[in-house]
């Protein structure tokens, strides 16, 4: 329900903005401008996503490297949010929706941290 609410919020924001020149930025894009939010995203990644799962450097893990702009399940902010929130069935990626201390805000800060650290040439 919380995921649906979050996406609905984003959807409404996008829908309201159809007539505008540009859609509003995602929560992650906003958080990416806030060093404290990016730091929290980094500490959440360090404490819950790294370790024996995602690496902070390219490698040969079963959990994908998340900073090279190559996405298996969609690379938009919303798609990354959904991957974190709902997990990926039949992989080791669990669903984090409703499990972070600060709820969806923490998930968006994780996405903001991933955005801030990504390194790719496409500008995506």
Partner 1 sequence: MRLIRALLCVSVLSIFPSVSLAAEPMSEPAEIVLDPLPTHWIAPKPVGGSAGPVTQAMLDTPFAKGSRWLHYGGDYRNLRHSPLTQLNPKTVPKLQVAWAFSTGTTGQFEVSPVLYDGVLYVTSSYNRLFALDARTGELLWRYDHQNGRNLPLCCGPANRGAAITGDLVLMATLDAHLIAFDRKTGAIAWDTEIIDYTKGYTATSAPLVVGDLAYIGIAGGEYGIRGFMDAYDTKTGKRVYRHYTVPTAGEPGVETWAGDSYARGGSPAWTTGAYDAETDTLFWTTGNPSPDWNGDERLGDNLYSNSLLALDPKTGKRKWHFQFTPHDVWDYDGNSHIFLVDTKVDGKPRKLIVQANRNGFFYMIDRMTGEFVKGKPYLEQVNWATLDAKGRPVVNPKAMPAEDTLERTCPSNLGGTNGSYTGAYDPDLGLVFTATIESCQAFAKGISVFVEGMPYLGGLPELVDAEAGKSYGNFVAIDASTGEVRWRHREAHPMMAGSLTTKGGVVFSGTLGGEAVAYESKTGKQLWRFRMGGGVRSQPVAYELDGRTYVVYGSGSFASMDDFAGGPDRIPEGGHLFVFVLPEG
Choose between 101 and 123: whose C-beta lies nearer to partner 1. 101
Smaller CB separation from partner 1, 96 or 108? 96
Instruction: Tell me the CB-side half-sphere exposure of residue 79, using CA atoms within 13 A.
Output: 8
Cα–Cα distance between 23 and 37 in angstroms, integer? 22
For partner 1, give the closer residue by CB, 60 or 119.
Answer: 60
Asked if residue 9 lies in contact with residue 103, where contact means CB atoms within 8 angstroms, the answer is no
Q: Which residues bind partner 1 (CB under 8 A)?
A: 40, 42-48, 50-53, 55-57, 59-63, 89-90, 92, 94, 96, 99-101
């Amino acid at each position: 329900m919380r995921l649906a609410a979050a996406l609905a919020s984003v959807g409404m924001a996008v829908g309201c903005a159809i007539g505008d020149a540009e859609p509003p930025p995602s929560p992650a894009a906003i958080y990416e401008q806030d060093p404290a939010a990016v730091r929290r995203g980094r500490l959440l990644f360090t404490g819950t996503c790294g370790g024996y799962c995602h690496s902070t450097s390219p490698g040969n893990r079963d959990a994908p490297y998340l900073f090279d702009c190559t996405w298996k399940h969609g690379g938009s902010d919303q798609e990354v949010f959904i991957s974190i929130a709902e997990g990926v069935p039949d992989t080791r990626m669990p669903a984090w929706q409703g499990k972070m201390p600060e709820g969806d805000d923490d998930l968006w800060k994780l996405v903001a941290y991933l955005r801030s650290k990504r390194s790719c040439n496409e500008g995506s």
